[in-house]
Amino acid sequence: MSDKKKLELYIHIPFCERKCAYCDFLSMPATLGVQRQYVEKLIDEIIGESAGVRDYEVTSIFMGGGTPSILPGEYVLGVLQAAGDYFNVRKDAEITIEINPGTLDEHKLKCYREGGVNRISLGLQSADDWELRVLGRIHTYDDFLKSYQQVRLAGFANVNVDLMSALPGQTLNSWEKTLKKVLMLRPEHISAYSLIIEEGTPFYERYGKGEKTFPPLPDEDTEREMYHVTRTMMEDSGYHRYEISNYSRPGLECRHNLGYWTGVDYLGLGLGASSCVSGFRFKKESNLRTYIEKAGQEDFPANLYREIHKLDQKDRMEEFMFLGLRLTEGVSGAEFLDRFGQNMWNVYGSVIEDMEKKELLRVEHPRVFLTERGMDLSNYVMSHFLLD
């Protein structure tokens, strides 16, 4: 067992074929020339950042976006090889790449395997083509099936499928059909999130101002019903819910996301990527032209750092609670004491007691969990763990 500290890498690929109507991620269409230029600078950043984390061991790598699979396979391979060459990556590290249906071919999949990818995350969102068009997705359900088959034929044995409920015009019946179709494929992992209307997106202009528009969003009761139907259908099909919106077959939870929720340090690489390392949270430069320009300067990659914040004890305790409570295994008072040198009940006892009385939390010493009702009202519960 290594005595090095754990570190997760997130590698951001900000390119996509077309921006979806609900998306507020840092992403944009770009020419092949711009993509190549970005990848060259990203590799330089990987080399530069690796020098500061020699005492860490990388346990997972997640390449997200945007649409990483829009890149030529060689570009992805170059980035992953650089990460493997310059960071201390464990041999059993989980290495994930996000893929959009319709952007794959055999050569790309071969490059992913050569680069060490052992987990694929496919962005389906819905099995209903009309709902996909409303979202602004570039693919159909048939495109997804072809991509899923390609991934399996290429030998990938750990596949996640991303789904999204509470979509405009979506009914409980159409959501159940999406779940049934995906469950029949038996992926190892399913992420099922509700649509959030984010400011600055076309959907916000259409739905965020409280105006009635078509197609309408499902009402609050239907949205909650969708959530409960999801849990029931997943459990009936042998999937374990280990986090509010994430389900897996036994032992195949996403190790990278578990790291986020349990406080493992993570280093973001690439445009606008977020990091939390050695008690400091920071982001990278989010303007593409500025990022590329700064990559050639003497103080690179430190000149990319933005919004640097040193976490104090209060910050860390708050995060321990409202990230840890997202997990179905909850949080441990013993671990709280070990991390912070304080008794969790001395800090949060009144909040825990109040939430327990409201049947939003369940206590089984030394652990505290969200109840089913607490899961439904998780944002309300988490807000009470902010310290004055």
Q: What is the pLDDT of residues 316-374, one digit of tens each?
A: 999 999 999 999 999 999 999 999 999 999 999 999 999 999 999 999 989 999 999 99
CATH number, domain of 333, equals 1.10.10
Residue with tokens 């959501």: 175
Instruction: Name 329's Cβ contacts closer than 8 Å, sequence gap at least 6.
Output: 242, 367, 369
From 237, 261, 285, the end of a domain falls on: 261
Query: According to the model, what pLDDT value does residue 141 have?
Result: 98
Same domain, 238 and 379: no
Beta bridge partners of 97: 63, 120
Instruction: In whole angstroms, give the CA distance from residue 20 to residue 168.
Output: 14
The distance from CA 86 to its chain's CA centroid, rounded to whole angstroms, is 24
Q: Is the pLDDT reported for residue 385 higher than 90?
A: yes
Residue 320 lies in a domain: no
95 neighbors 61 (Cβ within 8 angstroms)? yes
Task: Work out the angle at residue 125's Cα, subtended by the Cα atoms of residues 120 and 127, and round it to the nearest 5 degrees.
Answer: 105
Same domain, 344 and 253: no
Instruction: In whole angstroms, give the CA distance from residue 300 to residue 124.
Output: 37
26 neighbors 271 (Cβ within 8 angstroms)? yes
Query: According to the model, what pLDDT value does residue 4 have?
Result: 85
Q: Which of 101, 259, 127 is nearest to 183 (CA)?
A: 127
Query: According to the model, what pLDDT value does residue 21 have?
Result: 76
Residue 33 lies in a domain: yes
Task: Work out the angle at residue 241's Cα, subtended by the Cα atoms of residues 379 and 11, and round it to the nearest 5 degrees.
Answer: 75
Residue with tokens 């009761």: 221
CATH number, domain of 86, equals 3.20.20.70
DSSP designation for 384: T
Same domain, 85 and 199: yes
Instruction: Name 265's Cβ contacts closer than 8 Å, sequence gap at least 6.
Output: 5, 6, 7, 8, 56, 276, 277, 278
Instruction: In whole angstroms, give the CA distance from residue 71 to residue 57.
Output: 27
The single-letter code of the amino acid at 266 is Y
Same domain, 86 and 183: yes
Average pLDDT of the residues in 1-5:
73
Same domain, 69 and 201: yes
Instruction: In whole angstroms, give the CA distance from residue 82 to residue 9.
Output: 12
Residue 312 lies in a domain: no
Same domain, 15 and 96: yes
149 neighbors 199 (Cβ within 8 angstroms)? no
The distance from CA 279 to its chain's CA centroid, rounded to whole angstroms, is 21
Average pLDDT of the residues in 66-82:
97
From 261, 289, 309, the end of a domain falls on: 261
Sign of CA dihedral 238, 160, 25, 124: negative
Measured from the Cβ of residue 201, the count of other Cβ atoms closer than 10 Å reads 20
Same domain, 111 and 251: yes
Same domain, 54 and 144: yes
Query: According to the model, what pLDDT value does residue 2 have?
Result: 62
Residue 370 lies in a domain: yes
Residue 13 lies in a domain: yes
Same domain, 49 and 170: yes
Residue 289 lies in a domain: no
Query: Tens digits of per-residue pLDDT, 188-200?
Result: 999 999 998 888 8
Q: Is the pLDDT reported for residue 1 higher than 70?
A: no
Q: Is the pLDDT reported for residue 24 higher than 90?
A: no
Same domain, 39 and 152: yes
From 245, 261, 277, the end of a domain falls on: 261
341 neighbors 375 (Cβ within 8 angstroms)? no
Q: Could you give the dihedral angle defined by the CA atoms of residues 243, 141, 98 and 328, in that order, rounded to the nearest 10 degrees?
A: 0
Same domain, 256 and 333: no
DSSP designation for 10: E
Query: Tens digits of per-residue pLDDT, 27-38?
Result: 889 999 999 999
Query: Tens digits of per-residue pLDDT, 79-123?
Result: 999 999 999 999 999 999 999 999 999 999 999 999 999 999 999
105 neighbors 93 (Cβ within 8 angstroms)? no
Share of the chain above pLDDT 90, in %: 88
Task: Work out the angle at residue 23's Cα, subtended by the Cα atoms of residues 292 and 189, and round it to the nearest 5 degrees.
Answer: 100
Q: Which residue has the higher pLDDT, 209 or 374?
A: 374
Residue 351 lies in a domain: yes
Query: Tens digits of per-residue pLDDT, 226-255?
Result: 999 999 999 999 999 999 999 999 999 999
- For the ranges 33-37, 212-216, 248-252, 381-385, which has the lowest average pLDDT? 212-216
Q: Domain range spanning residue 366? A: 329-383
| Number of folded domains that form the chain | 2
The pLDDT confidence band at residue 185, using thresholds 50, 70 and 90, is very high
Residue with tokens 């170059």: 78
Query: According to the model, what pLDDT value does residue 23 have?
Result: 80
Query: According to the model, what pLDDT value does residue 211 have?
Result: 65
Residue 271 lies in a domain: no
Query: According to the model, what pLDDT value does residue 210 have?
Result: 67
3-state secondary structure of 282: strand
Share of the chain above pLDDT 70, in %: 98
Same domain, 92 and 183: yes
